[in-house]
Amino acid sequence: MSNIAIISDIHGNKVALDEVLNDIDRRGITRVYCLGDLVGYYCFFNEVIETLANRNIPCIMGNHDFALVHNNGVIERSVTCTRILKWQMKFITEKARGFLSSLPEKLEIDMFGKKATCYHAGLADHRDEYLFDVSGDYLKEHNFKEDILVTGHTHLPSYKKFYNSQAWLNPGSVGQPRDGDNRASYVVISENLNIEFVRLSYNSRIIVEEMKKQGFEDYISAPLLTGQKIGL
Protein backbone atom coordinates (compact mmCIF):
# COMPACT_ATOMS: atom_id res chain seq x y z
CA MET A 1 0.00 0.00 0.00
CA SER A 2 1.23 3.45 -0.87
CA ASN A 3 2.47 5.77 1.84
CA ILE A 4 0.19 8.68 2.69
CA ALA A 5 0.92 12.37 2.18
CA ILE A 6 -1.04 15.07 3.99
CA ILE A 7 -0.89 18.64 2.79
CA SER A 8 -2.68 21.72 4.11
CA ASP A 9 -3.07 25.50 3.96
CA ILE A 10 -1.89 26.12 0.42
CA HIS A 11 -3.47 29.59 0.18
CA GLY A 12 -3.01 30.17 -3.54
CA ASN A 13 0.72 29.41 -3.44
CA LYS A 14 0.96 27.24 -6.55
CA VAL A 15 4.77 27.47 -6.66
CA ALA A 16 5.07 25.79 -3.25
CA LEU A 17 2.32 23.29 -4.14
CA ASP A 18 4.18 22.21 -7.30
CA GLU A 19 7.34 21.60 -5.32
CA VAL A 20 5.42 19.49 -2.79
CA LEU A 21 3.53 17.49 -5.43
CA ASN A 22 6.77 16.83 -7.33
CA ASP A 23 8.31 15.48 -4.14
CA ILE A 24 5.22 13.33 -3.48
CA ASP A 25 5.45 11.96 -7.04
CA ARG A 26 9.17 11.27 -6.71
CA ARG A 27 8.39 9.18 -3.65
CA GLY A 28 5.72 7.24 -5.56
CA ILE A 29 3.01 8.28 -3.09
CA THR A 30 -0.49 7.92 -4.52
CA ARG A 31 -2.59 8.56 -1.40
CA VAL A 32 -2.68 12.33 -0.91
CA TYR A 33 -5.12 14.30 1.26
CA CYS A 34 -5.55 18.03 1.77
CA LEU A 35 -6.85 19.69 4.96
CA GLY A 36 -8.12 22.83 3.25
CA ASP A 37 -7.49 26.55 2.81
CA LEU A 38 -6.84 26.35 -0.90
CA VAL A 39 -7.66 30.04 -1.29
CA GLY A 40 -6.80 33.20 0.65
CA TYR A 41 -3.54 35.20 0.71
CA TYR A 42 -1.81 34.51 -2.62
CA CYS A 43 -2.59 34.92 -6.27
CA PHE A 44 -2.54 31.47 -7.88
CA PHE A 45 -5.70 30.21 -6.16
CA ASN A 46 -7.44 29.10 -9.39
CA GLU A 47 -4.36 27.09 -10.37
CA VAL A 48 -4.16 25.49 -6.91
CA ILE A 49 -7.80 24.40 -7.05
CA GLU A 50 -7.46 23.15 -10.62
CA THR A 51 -4.40 21.08 -9.72
CA LEU A 52 -6.02 19.45 -6.68
CA ALA A 53 -9.23 18.80 -8.62
CA ASN A 54 -7.37 17.29 -11.60
CA ARG A 55 -5.45 14.99 -9.30
CA ASN A 56 -8.62 13.97 -7.45
CA ILE A 57 -7.03 14.83 -4.13
CA PRO A 58 -9.66 14.64 -1.37
CA CYS A 59 -9.83 18.05 0.35
CA ILE A 60 -11.57 19.56 3.36
CA MET A 61 -13.13 23.04 3.27
CA GLY A 62 -10.97 25.46 5.27
CA ASN A 63 -12.10 28.72 6.86
CA HIS A 64 -10.83 30.80 3.92
CA ASP A 65 -12.56 28.46 1.46
CA PHE A 66 -15.77 28.74 3.50
CA ALA A 67 -15.55 32.53 3.69
CA LEU A 68 -15.15 32.77 -0.09
CA VAL A 69 -18.10 30.54 -0.98
CA HIS A 70 -20.47 31.19 1.94
CA ASN A 71 -19.57 34.46 3.67
CA ASN A 72 -19.03 36.95 0.87
CA GLY A 73 -15.26 36.72 1.42
CA VAL A 74 -15.47 38.06 4.96
CA ILE A 75 -13.15 36.83 7.73
CA GLU A 76 -14.32 38.95 10.64
CA ARG A 77 -11.02 39.17 12.51
CA SER A 78 -8.92 40.21 9.53
CA VAL A 79 -9.31 43.17 7.24
CA THR A 80 -6.38 41.91 5.15
CA CYS A 81 -7.77 38.38 4.67
CA THR A 82 -11.17 39.81 3.78
CA ARG A 83 -9.68 42.23 1.26
CA ILE A 84 -7.75 39.42 -0.44
CA LEU A 85 -10.72 37.04 -0.49
CA LYS A 86 -12.94 39.72 -2.00
CA TRP A 87 -10.28 40.22 -4.71
CA GLN A 88 -10.14 36.46 -5.31
CA MET A 89 -13.94 36.32 -5.56
CA LYS A 90 -13.73 38.60 -8.59
CA PHE A 91 -11.39 36.28 -10.43
CA ILE A 92 -12.28 32.78 -9.30
CA THR A 93 -13.50 30.58 -12.16
CA GLU A 94 -16.94 29.05 -11.98
CA LYS A 95 -15.39 25.61 -12.01
CA ALA A 96 -13.01 26.41 -9.15
CA ARG A 97 -15.83 27.91 -7.10
CA GLY A 98 -17.91 24.78 -7.73
CA PHE A 99 -15.05 22.60 -6.50
CA LEU A 100 -14.60 24.69 -3.34
CA SER A 101 -18.35 24.60 -2.62
CA SER A 102 -18.34 20.82 -2.80
CA LEU A 103 -15.72 20.29 -0.09
CA PRO A 104 -16.69 18.49 3.13
CA GLU A 105 -15.69 19.58 6.64
CA LYS A 106 -14.24 16.20 7.59
CA LEU A 107 -12.21 13.37 6.05
CA GLU A 108 -11.76 9.89 7.42
CA ILE A 109 -8.64 8.02 6.39
CA ASP A 110 -7.46 4.50 6.99
CA MET A 111 -3.80 4.84 7.99
CA PHE A 112 -2.37 1.37 7.82
CA GLY A 113 -5.19 -0.09 9.90
CA LYS A 114 -5.55 2.95 12.19
CA LYS A 115 -8.47 5.33 11.92
CA ALA A 116 -7.63 8.97 11.30
CA THR A 117 -10.17 11.78 11.40
CA CYS A 118 -9.19 15.04 9.75
CA TYR A 119 -10.60 18.53 10.18
CA HIS A 120 -9.27 21.85 8.96
CA ALA A 121 -9.05 23.21 12.51
CA GLY A 122 -10.18 21.17 15.53
CA LEU A 123 -12.82 19.26 17.44
CA ALA A 124 -14.46 22.24 19.17
CA ASP A 125 -14.73 24.20 15.93
CA HIS A 126 -14.06 22.14 12.84
CA ARG A 127 -13.17 25.12 10.68
CA ASP A 128 -11.79 27.90 12.82
CA GLU A 129 -10.15 26.78 16.04
CA TYR A 130 -6.43 27.41 16.53
CA LEU A 131 -5.24 24.14 17.96
CA PHE A 132 -1.67 24.89 19.01
CA ASP A 133 -1.53 21.94 21.37
CA VAL A 134 -3.69 18.93 22.19
CA SER A 135 -4.01 17.08 25.50
CA GLY A 136 -5.51 13.70 26.30
CA ASP A 137 -8.21 15.61 28.19
CA TYR A 138 -9.05 17.62 25.08
CA LEU A 139 -9.62 14.41 23.10
CA LYS A 140 -11.73 13.00 25.95
CA GLU A 141 -13.77 16.19 26.39
CA HIS A 142 -14.70 16.02 22.73
CA ASN A 143 -15.36 12.30 22.87
CA PHE A 144 -12.69 11.58 20.27
CA LYS A 145 -12.55 7.81 19.86
CA GLU A 146 -10.50 7.36 16.69
CA ASP A 147 -6.78 6.70 16.67
CA ILE A 148 -5.43 9.86 15.08
CA LEU A 149 -6.70 13.44 14.98
CA VAL A 150 -5.31 15.36 12.02
CA THR A 151 -5.70 19.15 11.85
CA GLY A 152 -4.23 22.11 9.95
CA HIS A 153 -5.08 25.84 10.21
CA THR A 154 -2.24 26.93 12.57
CA HIS A 155 0.41 26.47 9.83
CA LEU A 156 2.64 24.88 12.50
CA PRO A 157 3.85 21.28 11.99
CA SER A 158 3.06 19.22 15.11
CA TYR A 159 2.92 15.62 16.21
CA LYS A 160 2.03 14.23 19.61
CA LYS A 161 1.42 10.70 20.84
CA PHE A 162 -0.72 9.94 23.87
CA TYR A 163 -0.34 7.19 26.48
CA ASN A 164 -3.39 5.34 25.14
CA SER A 165 -1.80 5.22 21.65
CA GLN A 166 -3.97 7.98 20.23
CA ALA A 167 -2.11 10.71 18.36
CA TRP A 168 -2.48 14.23 16.99
CA LEU A 169 -0.84 15.40 13.80
CA ASN A 170 -0.61 18.73 11.97
CA PRO A 171 1.32 18.73 8.65
CA GLY A 172 2.11 22.46 8.75
CA SER A 173 1.47 24.67 5.75
CA VAL A 174 2.43 24.24 2.11
CA GLY A 175 1.82 27.84 1.11
CA GLN A 176 2.52 29.98 4.18
CA PRO A 177 4.72 28.40 6.87
CA ARG A 178 4.66 30.29 10.18
CA ASP A 179 7.32 28.53 12.24
CA GLY A 180 10.27 30.64 11.15
CA ASP A 181 11.26 28.15 8.43
CA ASN A 182 10.32 29.50 4.99
CA ARG A 183 10.23 26.09 3.31
CA ALA A 184 6.92 24.45 2.34
CA SER A 185 5.79 21.85 4.89
CA TYR A 186 3.90 18.59 4.54
CA VAL A 187 3.91 15.17 6.13
CA VAL A 188 4.43 11.58 4.94
CA ILE A 189 2.99 8.67 6.89
CA SER A 190 4.29 5.17 6.32
CA GLU A 191 3.73 1.70 7.77
CA ASN A 192 3.63 1.52 11.61
CA LEU A 193 2.61 5.18 11.63
CA ASN A 194 6.07 6.38 10.91
CA ILE A 195 5.76 10.16 10.57
CA GLU A 196 8.14 12.17 8.42
CA PHE A 197 7.84 15.96 8.25
CA VAL A 198 9.12 17.15 4.90
CA ARG A 199 10.37 20.69 4.23
CA LEU A 200 11.04 21.92 0.70
CA SER A 201 12.57 25.13 -0.58
CA TYR A 202 10.78 26.80 -3.46
CA ASN A 203 11.05 30.11 -5.25
CA SER A 204 8.84 32.30 -3.06
CA ARG A 205 10.05 35.40 -4.94
CA ILE A 206 7.67 34.44 -7.76
CA ILE A 207 4.73 34.88 -5.35
CA VAL A 208 6.16 38.08 -3.86
CA GLU A 209 6.59 39.62 -7.33
CA GLU A 210 3.17 38.53 -8.57
CA MET A 211 1.44 39.91 -5.47
CA LYS A 212 3.24 43.21 -6.03
CA LYS A 213 2.05 43.22 -9.64
CA GLN A 214 -1.51 42.69 -8.46
CA GLY A 215 -1.22 45.75 -6.20
CA PHE A 216 -0.84 44.08 -2.80
CA GLU A 217 1.54 45.50 -0.22
CA ASP A 218 4.75 43.77 0.78
CA TYR A 219 3.60 42.87 4.29
CA ILE A 220 1.31 40.19 2.82
CA SER A 221 3.93 38.27 0.87
CA ALA A 222 7.26 39.29 2.45
CA PRO A 223 6.71 36.84 5.37
CA LEU A 224 7.07 34.04 2.80
CA LEU A 225 10.76 34.88 2.66
CA THR A 226 11.22 34.34 6.40
CA GLY A 227 8.46 31.88 7.32
CA GLN A 228 6.73 34.28 9.71
CA LYS A 229 3.04 34.86 10.34
CA ILE A 230 1.79 37.93 8.53
CA GLY A 231 0.77 40.94 10.58
CA LEU A 232 -2.95 41.56 10.08
Footprint on residues 115-154 left by Fe ion (CB under 5 A): 153
Nearest of 83, 45, 97, 41 to residue 74 by alpha carbon? 83
Angle at 34 between CA 219 and CA 17, to 5 degrees: 50
Stretch that binds Fe ion, among 62-70, 95-103, 109-117, 217-225 (CB under 5 A): 62-70
Paired sense of beta strands 31-34 and 114-119, if any:
unpaired
Site for Fe ion contains 37 (CB under 5 A): yes
Applying CB under 5 A, the site for Fe ion has a residue count of 4
Query: Would you tell me how many other CB atoms lie within 10 Å of the CB of residue 133?
Result: 10
Looking at beta carbons only, is 63 or 158 nearer to Fe ion?
63
What is the DSSP code (8-state) at residue 141?
Answer: H
- Residues 70-109 vs Fe ion: string with x where CB under 5 A? ----------------------------------------
- CA dist 7 and 133 (Å) reads 19
Smallest distance from the beta carbon of 174 to Fe ion, in angstroms?
A: 12
Site for Fe ion contains 223 (CB under 5 A): no
- CA dist 177 and 228 (Å) reads 7
Smallest distance from the beta carbon of 63 to Fe ion, in angstroms?
A: 5
Looking at beta carbons only, is 86 or 114 nearer to Fe ion?
86
8 A C-beta contact, residue 213 and residue 206: no
Looking at beta carbons only, is 150 or 193 nearer to Fe ion?
150
Smallest distance from the beta carbon of 72 to Fe ion, in angstroms?
A: 18
Looking at beta carbons only, is 37 or 179 nearer to Fe ion?
37
Looking at beta carbons only, is 9 or 18 nearer to Fe ion?
9
- CA dist 37 and 104 (Å) reads 12
Site for Fe ion contains 63 (CB under 5 A): yes
List Cβ neighbours of 211 (8 Å cut-off, separation of 6 or more): 42, 43, 220, 221
Looking at beta carbons only, is 19 or 37 nearer to Fe ion?
37
Smallest distance from the beta carbon of 65 to Fe ion, in angstroms?
A: 9
Q: Which listed residue (11, 32, 62, 167) binds Fe ion by CB under 5 A?
A: 62
Query: Helices marked H in 27-175 — which ranges?
Result: 45-54, 63-70, 79-91, 94-101, 136-141
Smallest distance from the beta carbon of 168 to Fe ion, in angstroms?
A: 17
Enumerate binding residues for Fe ion (CB under 5 A): 37, 62-63, 153
